[in-house]
Each structure stands twice: as structure tokens, then as C-alpha cells.
Amino acid sequence: MNKINVVGSMPGFGLTDVEKMIIENADVIFAGTRNIELLNVNKKIVRPIKKLDTALDEIKDEFNKNKNIVVIASGNPLFYGIGTALIRNFGAEYINIVPHIGSIDVALSKLKIPINTVHAISVHGRPIKGLAQRIKHYKRVIILTDKINSPDKIAGYMIEYGLTNFRFIVLERLGYNDEKIRCFNIKDALNSKFSDPNLIFIDEIENFSPDDLSDKNFSMINENITKEEIRHISVSKMAVKNGDIIWDIGSGTGSVSIEACRYNYDGGIYCIEKNSMACNNIEKNMKKFSCDLNIINGEAPDALYNLPDPDIVFIGGSGGKIAEILDYSYKRLKKNGRIVVNTVLIGNLNKIISYLNSNKIGYDLTQALINRNHTIKNDMMLKPVDPVFILTAVKK
């Protein structure tokens, strides 16, 4: 059976005898511009990879002609590399992976840092969205960059999200003769220029103080916030896992999403809010608590149509459309996904229960009654917070 050989490479580290033999026997070689520079082969058989989709189509054409195909990748082809795309498109049985030492291995060896103590993230050809909470959680990360998501841009992003308590080391053109390793204050990196390719190593200097997610620390309109104690119960009912897709409908301040982000730093959280002033507050709160979430300024259910299917739906506000929002959300919810609805209104509660019962959807109902201390003269009393109904349903 003919296979596509995917060979890793790294500047300054040559090729193994096995890799050389595979390349010498190739009918056609696909490689990126920098990897082509490393090859000592007949350039007539080399096809440059510029766009992944186009390259995959060209590889498929040659594969169907039963050609001996070699794809040159950087480092380990399965680490954010083209090897993953090839397996997805052709099937693992048609792919032979020949890994090589990669830039992260070289970078951490030069810094004398054990690789098992570092979390690797790639923003190479990928959006930067969500990077803040990942840096904050993992604390020690190495980032694969590109010309768009460059070190100076990432430094500015970190400053914007309050992530300034970090060492910021940029490793440029590793393996080349003009290799450089520079350590920066993040603010200095913001105004510096860097040579491609490069990586960033980020390391927390001192432990973060735990975030104080008390209500008073959120920007809000007229104290319109899911109260702290109710928020804890609601997020517990949501049973958040890392990597989940979460819809927070009627997000208000974004407090529930920010709380959930503590547990879901690698997933996607979408704050849906129709009030543009509230959206501005969500953005302020996100940056204050180093959570880069997705803000959707629109009204559910219409604003939900283009979002990825959720693992969890939290409904904190419905604008009088609770039945429509529930129906659409439940249809889009993944199997074993959860819907959690908070309401203080009896009318809304009746509509929710009616919908769930009519569709034979099981649910749990909790009423949270919270009292807070309040100073009066020289003494103290407890004042009640509005009681909240919390309904939880799981899609079977």
C-alpha cells in the first residue's frame, strides 16, 4: 500500500539517514518555504506549500497517481503540524510519520527548563482569542508565533488583560547562524522588533493573588448581576469541564462566564447580551479578571444561530422569550449537555416547567435563599437577597 511519508526537520540539526533515504526516493516533495531551504534535492520535484487546503488538494492528486510523496514538516509533524491534517484527510493507515527534534525541544533545552513543566500553545495560523485565561491558568507556557501573532502583539495583549507579572523570553531563528535569545520586560517587548521564526517563553514571576469575584468588583448596571452565592451554585449545577462550549444567555456583567472560565480555560465561552452598555461592562470585567471571552451583542435566540453547539447553556435573562430560547438551546445542546436556568419570576418558572414537562425532559429545581450581613447602628442584621429558582436539565 502506497503511503505518504511526512518527515520532520529542524534548522541546524540535519537529517537522519532514514529521513535522507525517504527524501531521495521521493517522486514529489511538498514543503514550506523555510523547509525547502534545508533540502539538498532536485528542486524540480519540490512543490511549495503556501495554503494548506490547496496543498492537500495537490497531494491528493499525486497520491491518486500512485506517486511516492514526501511532505517536509517542522519538528514533530503531529504537534500543531500538517501531519494531523493529512491523517484527517487520508486516514492514518495511509500516513507514515517520521518525527524530528522540534523548536520547542531546542528552546527549552537552551533555557535549561524541563519540557514536562511547560504547557505549549500555538497561535501560528490560529486566533489569539482565549489566550489570556490559558496563560493565567498554566502560568508557564511556550508559544509558537507567526507574523501576525508576533511577540510584540502578544506583549500588548498580555498588558491589556493584566498579565504583566511574567518573564517574557523571545527565542528567534533557532538553529540558524543569526539565532538570538532575549529576555524582556513585557512593556519593552511591546515596542521591539523580532526576527522570524520565533517562540515566546512566558513564566510567572510571583504567584497571582486569587481573584476576588465579589459582586462589588464587577462593573455593572444598577446592581444587575447574578449574586456571588447564586453564581457559585449555578456554576456548580453547570458541571463545567475544561474544553466545554458554553452559552451564557442574558450575560449581564459576564460574571457567570468569568466564574466558569476558572474551570474552562481551553474551551469556548460565549456571552450573549442584547444591551450594548452591558456588553461594554462584560469587556471591562473580562480584562480585569484576565478572561478573553466571546461577546455577542444580540438577542437570543437569533444571536445563537452561528455559534458552535454547546455543552452547557446558562440562561440568566430571557427578555420575555424564555420558551423560544429554551426550545432552540435544547435542540442545539450536545448529548449529555446541561441547561441551567436562573429566574426570580413565578411566571417564567411556570413557562420553563411547562416546556420541560411537555417535552418529557427531566429536571432538578432548587430555590436559593441567601441572607447577607448588614450593619445597623452598632449592631448587625441579615438582609435577604431576592430568592432565585435554579432549574437544571440534562439532555439524554
Residue 75 sits in a domain whose CATH number is 3.40.1010.10
Total domain count, the chain: 3
**Average pLDDT rounded to a whole number, residues 28-46:** 82
pLDDT at 327: 96
Q: Which of 101, 136, 157 is the last residue of a domain?
A: 101
Residue 32 sits in the same domain as residue 137: no
Cell numbers found for residue 225: 448581576
Same domain, 291 and 172: no
- What is the per-residue pLDDT across 322-369, written as a single tens digit (0 to 9) for each? 999 999 999 999 999 999 999 999 999 999 999 999 999 999 999 999
Structural domain boundaries enclosing 366 = 215-394
For residues 181 and 95, membership in a common domain is answered with no
Task: Say which range, 104-118, 218-232, 245-259, 289-303, has the weakest mean pLDDT.
Answer: 218-232
C-beta of residue 149 within 8 angstroms of C-beta of residue 124? yes
CATH number for the domain harbouring residue 158: 3.30.950.10
- Confidence band for 208, pLDDT divided at 50, 70 and 90: low
Other Cβ atoms closer than 10 A to 253 = 25
The 8-class DSSP code of residue 84 comes to H
* pLDDT score at 116: 96
On whether residue 210 sits in a domain, the answer given is no
Question: What does pTM read for this prediction?
Answer: 0.91
**For the chain, how are helix, strand and coil distributed in percent, rounded to 5?**
35, 25, 40
Give residue 296's pLDDT: 97
Average pLDDT value for the chain: 93
Extended strands (E) in the chain: 4-9, 28-31, 46-48, 69-74, 95-98, 119-122, 140-144, 166-172, 180-184, 198-204, 245-249, 268-273, 294-297, 312-315, 338-343, 364-368, 371-376, 379-384, 388-394
Q: Label residues 61-95 b or e (16+ Cβ within 10 Å = b).
A: ebbeeebbbbbbbbbbbbbbbbbebbbebbeeeeb
Q: How far apart are CA 26 and CA 378, in angstroms?
A: 87
Q: Do 274 and 194 share a structural domain?
A: no
**Average pLDDT of the segment spanning 28-47:** 83
Quick one: which of 233, 238, 285, 290 has its CA closest to 265? Answer: 290
Predicted pLDDT at 32: 87
Distance in angstroms (rounded) separating the CA atoms of residues 97 and 78: 8
Rg (C-alpha) for the chain, rounded Å, is 26
Q: Does the structure show a pLDDT above 90 at 377?
A: no
Nearest by Cα to 266 from 244, 296, 295: 244
Q: Are residues 297 and 380 in the same domain?
A: yes
